Amino acid sequence: MPYLTSDVITAGMLSRNEQPEVAVGSELRLRPWDANDAELLLSVYADRDIQQWHCRTLTDLDEAREMIDRWQSAWRLETGAHWAITSGRRVVGRAGFRHLDLAYGEGELAYWAVPGQRGHGYVPAAVTALTHWAFDIGFLRVFLRHSSANTASCRVAEKTGFRYEGTLVSAAPHTDGRHDMHVHARTTNHG
């Protein structure tokens, strides 16, 4: 059965190009992850906060490299897009789209800051830059979900102009049980 609506973004629009670097003001930039980041990734996923809110850990460098490979593949498959947030040559966090839907023109953001780099405004700056990037290439809606108990993630959403849309009850498993999830979004017609 044919759809009665057209795809918002044509398939192939992302994958026909290399994943870009994205400027974030004069101090930061977003760049695609590469195999050289595996050791840092391994250490980040040993952090209790990362494990709590992202519900995963990495046990060795091979697993870290596999994660980077999955992130790189997501770009080629047009299902996601993941960037390292960098300050100079130092990786200070991650921001990206854990899910992209080209047909609907929407993407779901995910982010974290490297332990010791939290509270410097790196993540909100990256989220703002990626939201503008997505809108510039034709996306209509960017959203994020976070545990209702994750106040830091909620602050990022508020600082970056994402409107609170509601709470999904018992929507996601975490290490301490299922959590309610807040949904925040920005759209092209509402900023």
Query: What single DSSP character describes residue 36?
Result: G
Which of 48-62, 66-80, 117-131, 165-179 is predicted with the least confidence, judged by mean pLDDT?
A: 48-62
Q: Is residue 189 part of a domain?
A: no
Q: Is residue 80 part of a domain?
A: yes
Q: Domain range holding 120?
A: 22-144
Q: Identify whether the C-beta of residue 178 lies closer than 8 Å to the C-beta of residue 172.
A: yes
Looking at the structure of the chain, the number of domains it has is 1
Task: Tell whether the model's pLDDT for residue 126 goes beyond 70.
Answer: yes
Q: Is residue 187 part of a domain?
A: no
Q: Return d(Cα 127, Cα 136) in angstroms, integer.
A: 14
Q: Is residue 137 part of a domain?
A: yes
Q: Is residue 87 part of a domain?
A: yes
If you search the block for the tokens 């250490």, which residue do you land on? Answer: 43
The closest of 173, 180, 105, 191 to 146, measured between CA atoms, is 180
For the whole prediction, is pTM greater than 0.75? yes
Interacting residues of 21 by C-beta distance below 8 A, sequence separation 6+: 29, 30, 31, 32
- CA angle 187–96–9, rounded 5-degree value: 50
Q: What is the CATH number of the domain that holds 55?
A: 3.40.630.30
Q: Is residue 28 part of a domain?
A: yes
Q: Is residue 120 part of a domain?
A: yes
Q: Determine the pLDDT at residue 51.
A: 63
Q: Is residue 6 part of a domain?
A: no
pLDDT tens digits, residue range 39-65?
999 888 887 877 666 667 778 999 999
